[in-house]
Amino acid sequence: TVSVPLAAGALPVIGHLHQIARTGLVGQLLEVSRRSPEGIFKLRFGSRVSLFVTDPDLVAELCDETRFRKMPGPGLRVVRKFAGDGLFTAFGDEPNWGKAHRILLPAFSQRAMRGYFEMIVEVCDQLVAKWSRKSGTDVLVADDMTRLTLDSIAIAGFGHRFDSFEREELDSFLQALGRALGEALSTITRLPVQNRFATKAKAQYEADIAEMNALVDGIIADRRVNPTDGRDLLNLMLTAADPETGERLDDVNIRYQVLTFLIAGHETTSGMLTFAFAYLLRNPAVLAQAYAEVDRVLPGDTRPDFAHVARLEVCERVLKEALRLWPTAPAFSLAPFEDEVIGGRWLMKKDRPINVFTPGLHRSSKAWDDPEEFDIDRWLPDAEAARYPHAYKPFGNGERACIGRQFAMVEAKIALAMMLRAFAISDPHAYRLRIKETLSIKPDEFYMRVRLRQPHE
């Protein structure tokens, strides 16, 4: 076996942190992965070394669940401070993972999705109303997508109304969350000595966690006082027993799960929608196809229903391709149960996290023709059937893959369709894509002009 090469440019003490400070972590990982034909490399964050993989054949091995399982890396370990052993941040051998997974799966069935649909459409209606009032002006896309996705998961999952469209400011929960996720990222990209002196940032982090917990505790208390009979996420957590052990979730864990779903349930979906709008504006022919589809499937003021979603296949391909170029949760990490060799020569040590860096994987020239091109025809059924295996992993892998992926796709498809039905979108400022990173990624400072469409336009 041979050891994995360290990327060029590491300095004493700080390793690659100076490069990361310049380009952002995702930017740096993309640069290095472009220079790494083997699709495997190491970066040094101060004294800590992290291993990244972008080659689809190596990823295929890592996705073999008999040899590897999810192993939360340093970023997620920081998030555990507020998400604990909630579904996303749990180690696989923590009993609460299996328990919560089994209890909550029914909340993501087709039948359950049908139940959420009307609530999602109502939130989309609110965004249509807001953009109608602003017709002819520019909107900050990521913020409105964040309002939309946060309100949807909160109402569908917990019966909680943020009513984000009624206010100009983002909800203070979102501000606290944005800072907390930013701080989680900073903790891994600062030197230990810098971390030691970041007392102000740490105090803010504690305050932000307290604020998020207060909101969550309020949501739970409210449901206990005003029980409902639906089977949404919160009711399942409060009342359902794990079919395997017969046990229920404890109060601490319920708090972690509610927070986990509020975060995981909106942040990445809003990023995906924002990237989708940015790519539609750069690709007028695709935008025209999307308008044609929307006008065909949802003509006039047809009320969207669940059956329409399956017919929005252009919208779906736009979202899948946006998620290929910019998977909004850009990495996940795995570790072997025992020492393992991958690719016939790279030694992977037992329990040591290995990061699958998906923006790199999704641009692997082994798997994708013209990988930098936004091309929704990659997702036509024939092309998709012939796809290189394990080269597309925006939702992670195996039993730890995203539990909310259908929710995300249903929500994003109907939101995209309803906005395109109502608005002509344009890009008067010729936006140049820049990435804003917290732990997830989204387009930074992207303003888009919206104008109410005229009949027959």
Q: Where are the alpha helices (DSSP H) in 226-283?
A: 233-239, 251-264, 267-282
Q: Which stretch binds ligand HEM (CB under 6 A): 54-62, 164-172, 359-367, 389-397?
A: 389-397
Helix axes 284-297, 313-325, angle to 10 degrees: 140
| Catalytic residue, candidates 162, 261, 332, 395 | 395
Among 45, 88, 116, 326, binds ligand HEM (CB under 6 A): 88
Structural element, H or E, at residue 301: none
Among 363, 400, 413, 442, binds ligand HEM (CB under 6 A): 400
Catalytic residue status for 395: yes
Among 16, 44, 69, 70, binds ligand HEM (CB under 6 A): 70
In whole angstroms, the minimum distance from the beta carbon of 2 to ligand HEM comes to: 27
Tell me if 50 contacts ligand HEM by CB under 6 A.
no
Integer Cα distance of 215 and 372 in angstroms: 41
Q: Which is nearer to ligand HEM, 76 or 420 (CB)?
A: 76
Integer Cα distance of 345 and 118 in angstroms: 52
Q: Which stretch binds ligand HEM (CB under 6 A): 61-69, 192-200, 207-215, 325-333?
A: 325-333
- Write down the residue that tokens 């009979």 correspond to: 229
| Catalytic residue, candidates 45, 52, 402, 423 | 402
Q: Where are the alpha helices (DSSP H) in 107-250?
A: 110-133, 141-158, 172-189, 192-197, 199-225, 233-239
Integer Cα distance of 26 and 23 in angstroms: 8
Contacts (CB under 6 A) with ligand HEM, residues 227-286: 260-261, 264-265, 268-269, 272
For the chain, the first-to-last Cα distance in angstroms comes to 63
Among 153, 262, 281, 309, binds ligand HEM (CB under 6 A): 153
Among 67, 80, 101, 231, binds ligand HEM (CB under 6 A): 101
Catalytic residue status for 63: no
Q: Which is nearer to ligand HEM, 326 or 346 (CB)?
A: 326
Among 56, 359, 404, 443, binds ligand HEM (CB under 6 A): 404
Q: Which is nearer to ligand HEM, 28 or 397 (CB)?
A: 397
Sort 299 into a burial class: Cβ within 10 Å, 0-12 / 13-18 / 19+: exposed
Among 117, 131, 205, 407, binds ligand HEM (CB under 6 A): 407
Written in H, E and C, the secondary structure of 332-343 is EEEEECCCEEEC
Catalytic residue status for 306: no
Instruction: At 434, list the tokens.
Output: 């820049």
Asked if residue 312 lies in contact with residue 413, where contact means CB atoms within 8 angstroms, the answer is yes
Give the residues lining the site for ligand HEM (CB under 6 A). 70, 87-88, 101, 153, 260-261, 264-265, 268-269, 272, 327-329, 332, 394-396, 400-404, 407-408
Residues forming the active site: 268, 395, 402
